[in-house]
A and B are shown apart, each in its own frame.
Chain A
Amino acid sequence: MSATSPTVVYVPRDSAARSVGADEVADRIALAAAERHRDVRIVRNGSRGLLWLEPMVEVVTAGGRVAYGPVTPDDAESLVDVGMLDGADNELSLGVTDEIEWLRSQQRLMFRRVGVIDPLSLEEYEANGGGAGLRRALAMSPAEVVTEVIDSGLRGRGGAGFPAGVKWRTALDTDADVKYVCCNADEGDSGTFADRMLMEGDPFTLVEGMLICGYAVGATHGFVYVRSEYPDAIATLNSAIEILYARGWLGEHVLGSDAEFDLTVRVGAGAYICGEETSMLESLEGRRGEIRVKPPIPAIRGLFGRPTVVNNVLTLGSVPAILAGSAAAYAEHGVDRSLGTQVFQLAGNIARGGVVETSFGITLGELVLGYGGGTRTGRPVRAVQVGGPLGAYLPADRFDLPMAYESFAAAGAMVGHGGIVVFDDSVDMAQQARFAMEFCAEESCGKCTPCRVGAVRGVEVIDRIVADVDRDLNLVLLGDLCEVMTEGSLCAMGGLTPMPVRSALEHFPEDFSRGPALVRPVAPAEGGPR
């Protein structure tokens, strides 16, 4: 390194990294370097997504960025001493970052800049391909942009998988004085964190996606609805928005064009149900987060009664890459009608947790065993839950299942938001089924009866089954309950709750009939007044 330019050291600012000491690591490296009169510039980047290696420190060397991890604060001084700032090898050394197989084998389209750049440097953003999608979109007509998104095959990444472009076209075709784009960042599914990582690691990508969407459908105002549990994401987004206003990306003339777009961050209040799009709209309007009936669909009558595109962070985040390249190029990824890439999130009892952005079609086993490396406890994987707390539990013998909307639906499961939670063989699947009902009871908005009352009864019935009280009768009752919740609920909350219950019953029936003595004690059903 020349003596005149400082050594650049990347220490992630992602809250996952911060939660394991990244801030202190950064401080300690700076201190150690200063004490040794080494000129360093510490850049706080997003996380590369190898969460078991966080805090993962990278040093820029002539041979590329070299990674070290997991680095503890106490490691900082010795690492500097053993030449980390020059890219030297040591026990924490992971080699050149770009050559780490776990990363190299992914197809990072949306996440290409996450962990690479300073999330709030617009220069680095643009230097790494950011903004190209928006500039190309602005040169097209809105209808052409919509067509491009339709042709890309992009489907909603929030869980429902509805074709994004079709939604956009409906909003484009609906006349109104005002239209809105709402980004659903109320990421509440268990085992999911990709929204947060994008917002913290590359917020400009999300904003660019919303800008493209706004331009395409004629919306002039956007909202990002972020859950309050994501303070870092909220702060980063707000900083990004401030920068983009100052730099003419947001406001009256987007990048000097005639397009106008304002963007506001709104903070949710901790209700899982507000991740459902119509509840989110109610909440954005200042009301109780409760499901709205559809029709009318939000694309026709959404926020404040105006046409509104509601898309997930990962859906909108996919858009810049699609527009920067081409619909056809994007659609080359994936299988069947599951096109493009998905950001899978590996969590739970897993050896190597993190984000894997890759084309649809990769098998569940490749993710869990390949990328994930099996369980963290080292015991055999017994079950994985895909798609959040309302997703199905799948046994290890279904690891051949390709990650795609179609194949999962056929297996009575769902890809959802791409979260995968792994359990080893100590799991009690009856308790997991009970948890699904309990979760629904806790998070139900209370509007429709199958969900409001059904979830509570579901817990009670499972308790009776486990306690061997009229087991056969209660198994029938549980089946009827699952049926009415699935078919009769107003939204996916109640409608999907039976999915984990039924899959647990289907794949792990033995856990429901071990008898009361063999399972851990269950509290008797609560009776009387609450």
Chain B
Amino acid sequence: MDTPSVVRLANDIADQFSHRPEPAAVEAVADHVRKFWDPRMREQLMALARDGHVDLQPLALRAARQLQ
């Protein structure tokens, strides 16, 4: 099974903020997802984060967990 799109999308966002120090970077990624993502995608991401999806990069993972 392919990697779900939300993983790619979340990773793309995280890549743009990884130059920032935490926790600002985590908040920036989470904020972007909150502002622009449909709830069902957000929930899907949160679910994948709960399971610790291997393809989620660390910053994306932390941001997704912050969405909880």
Direct contact of A and B (CB under 8 A): no
Measured CB to CB, the residues of A under 8 A from B are none
